[in-house]
Chains A and B, each alone.
Chain A
Amino acid sequence: MAAGVETTFAAQTIMIQTDILIIGAGPCGLFTVFEAGLLKLKCHLIDALPQAGGQCAEIYPKKPIFDIPAYPEILAGDLVDRLMEQAAPFKPGFTLGERAETIVKDDEDQFIVTTNRGTVHRAPIIAIAGGLGCFEPRKPPVDRLEEYEDRGVEYIIKDPEFYRGKKVVISGGGDSALDWTNFLADGVASEVTLVHRRDGFRGHPDSVQKVLDLAGEGKIRLLTNGEVVGVDGEEHLEGLTIKHKTEGDIRLETDHWVPLFGLSPKLGPIADWNLNISKNAIEVDTFDYSTNVDGVYAIGDINTYPGKLKLILCGFHEATLMVQSAFKRIYPDKNLVLKYTTVNGVNGF
């Protein structure tokens, strides 16, 4: 049995079976589909984001990249489109908008990976191409904050109805803070306060104006030049302490506090997969980018090794070598000969 992988898995009825299960549908994960396809290995990708492309699609689709070989300049979003096109003949499967949560091994030496929404995947090979990791809400450094999570402190507004008739404080100066302030003030919450560190807002000018208008009409309370520095309450959040630049400490009674400070990348559940981690990255052997867990590989920005460079083109190289090793693990008795696409073309599934 591989190091640290549990073998207690109860049979599931619906399961996505594939050869290589790729965690992360960024450029590196997508190119893995192509390289694996050349070896007749099928791939399925899981990504916490709702679309393929990773950071290139989510964060900087309109930024040009200049170090992709043969492309003097290509927009990140266009690179993703090309990679999707290149992978298409090999019909990859996708589980998008779900985060790979747990990994166990069954009695046939296959990995079972389950997402936060309960989708179950089974594969003999796992390729972690998770980039920076999962994007999670940025939590403000306030003492005892964790005690009030889901007891009045929420980092994401999932259902605005949850706040009907409640006192709500929102923190932040970006679009989501402004938009939710405007939305909840429109007859949903009983009382809305927006707290922001500065006078200026960086959100859309229309949203900023609406917030200023609502404040002028007395429909919301706008506290600029202030920061929430304390939370209090018995079982549930009851109040906040706000440090104001000129007025000192202010206490606000509230039922909810929604700090909206954007997202920051975290390694996420992968950190608990018994992999050797160094400086937020997974240690690999550069022979084949294998991790300390047999059958689990890590490629692209999420891995680390002496001389590592976090470059897309290096991720492509890692993916190419990794699938060769994966093939030999799946088919130990088969000989593998490198075939050139110029000779054989691309024979899809």
Chain B
Amino acid sequence: MSTIRLTVIDREGVSHELEAPTDMNMNVMELCKSAELPVEGTCGGMAMCASCHCYVEDAASADLPEKSDDEEDMLDEAFHVEDSSRLGCQLHLKDDMDGMVIRLAPVG
């Protein structure tokens, strides 16, 4: 599969069904930006700003990679952090993410 579908729920609660290629080395932050969703991605994807902080709504169903130390460090300094918190820039789009639901965390 080279295209998957993700649902991104924005900060107003609106769901966006996005189609995403898995062979473009993209991550969730970049996907949101390309769909013009309000994700800043200030640091460019180096896990250094938490502006792409999101919640993976169905974490159990997705075989997500473990958080790196960099991601854990950044989430330590972020706000509104929950168990399902991830940095979108560290979630590289893969076939087994098909159907994943992501909710954008509040800004700040």
Q: Do A and B come from one complex?
A: yes
Listed in ascending order, the chain A residues whose CB lies under 8 Å from chain B are 59-60, 63, 132, 138-141, 172-174, 197-198, 202, 261-262, 264-265, 280, 310
Q: Which residues of A contact B77 (CB under 8 A)?
A: 138, 172, 174, 261-262
Which residues from chain B sit less than 8 Å from chain A, CB to CB? 40, 42-44, 46, 48-50, 69, 72-73, 76-81, 106, 108
Known: A59-B48, A264-B49, A265-B49. A140 touches B79 (CB 8 A): yes
The answer on a CB contact under 8 Å between B42 and A132 is yes
Alpha-carbon distance A174/B48, docked complex (angstroms) = 14
For residue B44, which residue of chain A has the nearest CB?
A: A310
- Interchain CB contact under 8 A, A265 and B42: yes
List of B residues within 8 angstroms of A138 by Cβ = 77, 79
A139→B80 CA distance, assembly (Å): 12
Contacts of B79 in A (CB 8 A): 138, 140-141, 261
Q: Is the interface of A mostly helix, strand, loop or mixed?
A: loop
Tell me which residues across on chain B come within 8 A of A173, comparing CB atoms: 76
> B69 and A202: CB pair below 8 A?
yes
Q: Which residues of B contact A202 (CB under 8 A)?
A: 69, 72-73, 76
Asked if A198 meets B42 with Cβ closer than 8 Å, knowing A59-B48, A264-B49, the reply is no
Chain B CB within 10 A, most for which of A132, A174, A202, A310 = A202
**Distance between Cα atoms of A280 and B38 in the complex (Å):** 13
Q: How far is the CB of A57 from chain B (nearest CB, A)?
A: 14
Given contacts A132-B42, A138-B79, 15 further A-B contacts (CB under 8 A): A59-B43, A59-B46, A60-B46, A60-B48, A132-B43, A140-B79, A141-B80, A173-B76, A174-B76, A197-B76, A202-B76, A261-B77, A261-B79, A264-B42, A265-B49
Give the Cβ gap from B107 to chain A, nearest Cβ, in Å.
9
Which 9 pairs across A and B sit closest by C-beta, in order of nearness? A262-B77, A141-B108, A261-B77, A173-B76, A202-B73, A141-B79, A202-B76, A140-B79, A265-B42
